Chain A
Amino acid sequence: MTANRGWRSRPVFRVMATARPVRGRLLLAGLLGALAIGSSVGLLATSAFLISKASQQPPILYLSVAIVLVRAFGIGRGVFRYAERLTGHDAAFRSLTDLRLAVFDRLTVVAPAGTSAYRSGDLLNRLVADVDAVVDLYLRVALPYIVAIVVGIGSVLLVTIFVPAAALALAAALLVGALIVPALTLRRLDRSQRKVAPAMARLTAETVTLADGSAEVIALGQQQRFLDRIAAADQELTQAAAVAARSSGVGSALGVLAQGGAIVAAIVFGTQAVTSGALDGVNLALVILVPLAAYEAVQVLPAAIVTLLRVRESARRITAVLDAPNPVPDPVNPVSIDAPGAVDLQVTALSAGWKLDDWVVGPVSLDVRPGRPVALVGPSGSGKSTVAAGLTRLCPSQGKVFFSDQDLSRATGDDVRRIIGLAEQNPHLFDSTVAENVRLARRSATDEEIHEILVELGLGPWLAALPDGLQTPVGRFGRAVSGGQRQRLALARVLLSETPIVVADEPTEYLDASSADVVMRALTRRCRHRGLLIITHRAADVAWCESSVSLGGQISV
């Protein structure tokens, strides 16, 4: 996939490429699916033959093979279909794991600055849903096409044995169903989108205006006026959709005509063959009825195309992540960083932002020494957290950061984060226990250590009230944990880690004055031998620090 051109570089194929290890299973599923629909064709074909033959009233023995086949096909349909679905889903889920790993691997490099996914929870949810949606690419797009191809070829071959000309007509009808009808569906969707999309955009804009400004609109008593405007946009949209609806049935009508054409052709050529003696009359019913059953194989393909369109969007967003450049690349020849006894972080003219050269904050200069906490102060929205992200190489930054006279810009991001630890402002809590959530900072930490830190941070009463203490699950996204508790769990993490420098982003947000005091006391006490940078907008926090920087220059308190 080196070239950026050609079909192989298209998102759908890029994503499909992760299915390579399960190719065999997918083909098996396709084969089983073909056998399922093949059973339908076989059922009608053998039944037609059976009845035609029976009408000649031969000894019943002559019919026994046909009877067995009819029954076998009757059972085969359901059984093969069941096997197909199980095999197909198994293959799809196997491949899903591979795709997830590929996405995760890239995210570990580029997150959070290199992708828009981390800008909102909705986008993140969508990315994860996009990965899941790829399952449909195998189950609802690839498999139906494999099945259609196998069944189509099989049916055409079967008819060829008897009346080649009818087989040709059947092939043509199947091609119409497999290619032209889906193409028409695509074109219709595309066209109606073009007509409907502007009306939809207007409707959405009007609705957003009302929803965002609803309080003022109601205060002004102007609800009806806004609803009327939405109604007008809605009328426009509904009319556009009604016009688009006119072409919606063209595809399915064409499908019926193609199938009818194949059957009429089978009648014409079959009758000629019977009249000329080329075809035994007993086989005529088979030749005419096979197209009736075989067409089922292509009937699901328009739906497959619609799915393809939808999954294509997902695939596009996934490849955008897979191709996202690393916004904070590691140096080409990284040097390792020593952590000597005396530690000191010198930051000179640091600017940081979520895009390279688009600095939202800075330049900031500060000097963090062990046991001498520094406060970084600024109003909310001034980009304090971006400084923290810049320092820990989570987003691009510019300026000099020296750790004990070693240039951190020459070290890898992983190494930088081994030096500078961070308690994030909005820490993520994993769907696990309290203890595990803290322990991720240092795997060797014992429950006693964790308990001790949490108690020191003022979480003692909370822990005591939890049903299972440290072993209590926090729930998905830590829903069972309040903002203040969450913040302190994040602080416990960074305190437990052994980084020589600790950055705490708004450590006392959500806390009342006395709890904030407890937290600041624990932080400063635990960091007697570590460098500590407190990012805050609260005056009370600053009092605990030796100096403070207000996003401009360092001043003594």
Chain B
Amino acid sequence: MRPLDPRLIKWAQATRLFLILSVILGAATAVTIVIQAALLARIITDVFQRGADLASIGQLTAGLAAVFAIRALLSYLQDWIAFRSSAQAKSQLRMAVLDHAVKLGPQFLDSRSTGGIAQLTGRGIDALDAYFARYLPQLLLAVVVPIVLGAVILSQDLLAAAIVAFTLPLIPLFMVLVGWYTQGKVDRQWRTLAVLSGYFLDVVAGLPTLKVFGRAKAQAANIRQVGDRYRKATMRVLRVSFLSSLVLELLATLSVAIVAVSIGLRLVGGSMDLQTALFVLILAPEAYLPLRMVGAQYHAAAEGISAAGELLDILETPLVESAAIGGAPAGPLALDLVDVSCRYPDRDVEVLKKLSCSFPVGQVTAVTGPSGSGKSTLLQLVLSFMQPTAGVVEVTGEQRSRSLSDIDSEAWLDQIAWLPQEPVMLAGSVFSNIRLGAPNADTESVERVAYQAGLTPDVLQQVLSDTGAGVSAGQRRRIGLARVLLRSKPLVLLDEPSASLDSHTEQVVADVIAELRAEGRTVVMVAHRPALITLADHIVHLEPVEQISEQVAVSGAGQVPLPGLRP
């Protein structure tokens, strides 16, 4: 783990200012530590050696109190700036990541687990607080404070300064050496540990299976046994890996002890005065303290750095360079798939295999087939969210035809109106949600398409919450349908348009499809229900790839045999 990832400074600009301010505050803190030590040494010497009473050290004591007040203020400022900068850095990182993730496209967003990116850019990123507020300032203090204090000690006593100057660099040096020496051992142990620590998750996850075979209760003994082995193996690792902090503590305190004894002996010899001796004694441990604290903050920081690391990795995922430069053909569109194969990047089985089929201009084509037969993938291909691994998708406009892969994705999407299975809903009115389809549409058109999609005028003003709650699944679909109508694009994609709808709404869908056909649009519709399939001019039936050697779309007009028992 790198203590400070340069990528963080690059993406989160707030980090830069924060680092500068932290160095300034660190230097100020170092100065107050020096003044505090000087005052303490003076006061003790005055009272002990020069017989001063409370009144005569009054000013010095007040000065010391003031120094503490300043230190308190500095520590307050440090925390304030740290949390504030952390909030800004998180915000910069978050927006940069989301911006980039959207550019990476839906395939990328889908490949992350449910709520993955929201979690990562939301609460997940909060782990950076500990890093910013505790670790980074400490890291800077560990550089600034020893330098300042070392210089001051040098001005007072050469020998003590030499001890500090000699041992202080030894700490990181030895930690690195111990780290190197133990790394191999620790790595070997971690591999054993990974197996053992996964064991509990394994049995807990498999508990239903164990129950089925009456083997659950017998596992308790194994858990204890594996737990003991885990503990012993972990302790073997820790005995080695704690060595580096042993070196740190040992060097830090032993050096102070050596300084103290050397000063003491020189005091006896009369070659040093008490005030200087006390001053050096008080300063010496302070020189080591920031370095020790860095070690203590390491744990919390590691979490923050790993959270930041995940985000930075997203930011550095390269965008797919598109060779497409051409615009989309104008006018009514036809699509032809020629020997198209398709595979998800993380899977080795093809979803579509040598599929050839046509979606003729101005006709309604139904795509049918059991789940897993690649219907959704087909739509993803047409939307250019996925690229075929083999074959081409031909787009034919009024005058010319060209391969879909040559068309600029943004221009292409502008030719499409698409009803997904779960239309996206944003917080706001139903009206504004419909207008998402065409942001410049006038009120009248919105009201018209809403009517066509079976939405009553009073529904239009209904307001959806943040989470899109407030409308039923059926209404959601109708809003999506209205959106499609409002877009009025040559190519229309409908993904199971009547799923989870009652028979009345199904009629609305049927009317909308009829309307689209009348308008001369090319409609591609993934459908299950016979009522909708009968509306199609043309049917493309898909079967799952595993069951066939080559996917031949069964095309027919109007009627296809419905697969066996699937309703």
Contacts and interface: CB of A to CB of B under 8 A. Distances in A.
Interface stretch (B144-152, B181-189, B217-225, B400-408): B217-225
Nearest to A484: B546
A333 interface: no
B117 interface: yes
A97 B94 CA distance: 39
A67 interface: yes
A380 B98 contact: no
Given A57-B268, A476-B202, A107 B253 contact: no
B6 interface: no
Nearest to A68: B261
Contact of A417 (B72, B211, B296, B547): B211
Contacts of A246: 80
Nearest to A539: B564
A512 B547 contact: yes
B257 A260 contact: no
A51 B264 contact: yes
A249 B267 contact: no
A465 interface: no
Contacts of A421: 212-213
Contacts of B88: 238, 242
A54 B223 contact: no
A547 to B, nearest CB: 14
B65 A209 contact: no
A237 interface: yes
Nearest to A431: B202
Interface in A138-158: none
A368 to B, nearest CB: 17
Contacts of B263: 51, 54
Interface in A191-234: 200-223, 225-227, 229-231, 234
A211 B255 CA distance: 56
A209 to B, nearest CB: 6
Contact of A264 (B68, B380, B466): B68
Contact of B257 (A73, A222, A227, A274): A73
Contact of B425 (A202, A209, A231, A424): A209
Contact of A257 (B72, B110, B211): B72
Interface string B252-269: 111111101101110110
Contacts, number: 438
Interface stretch (A120-128, A402-410, A525-533): A120-128
B550 interface: no
A288 B239 contact: no
A346 B198 CA distance: 41
Interface string A37-58: 0011001101110111111011
B75 A238 contact: no
B61 A267 contact: yes
B253 A63 contact: no
B195 interface: yes
A259 interface: yes
Contacts of A223: 102
Contacts of A386: none
Contact of A424 (B106, B212, B227): B212
A212 B208 contact: no
Interface string B286-304: 0000000000100010000
Interface stretch (B309-317, B410-418, B510-518): B410-418
Residue of B65, B106, B239 ringed by the most chain A CB atoms within 10 A: B106
A272 B47 CA distance: 10
A231 B49 CA distance: 65
Contacts of A76: 253
A82 B245 contact: yes
A220 to B, nearest CB: 6
Interface string B50-93: 00111001000100110111011101111110111011101100
A104 B218 CA distance: 11
A52 B213 contact: no
Given A93-B234, A424-B208, A248 B80 contact: yes
Contacts of B467: 205, 208-209
B80 A245 contact: yes
Query: Among B64, B260, B270, which residue has the most Cβ atoms of chain A within 10 A?
Result: B260
B216 interface: yes
A252 interface: yes
Contact of B208 (A118, A241, A497): A118
Nearest 7 pairs of A and B residues by beta carbon: A213-B424, A260-B68, A74-B257, A539-B564, A249-B79, A97-B227, A78-B249
29 contacts: A43-B257, A54-B268, A55-B49, A57-B268, A60-B265, A74-B257, A75-B250, A81-B245, A85-B242, A86-B235, A101-B224, A101-B227, A204-B123, A215-B420, A220-B483, A226-B426, A227-B95, A241-B83, A241-B90, A245-B84, A246-B80, A252-B78, A252-B79, A270-B47, A271-B52, A274-B48, A275-B54, A292-B282, A413-B211
Given A219-B383, A394-B211, 4 more contacts: A52-B48, A131-B200, A225-B439, A237-B91
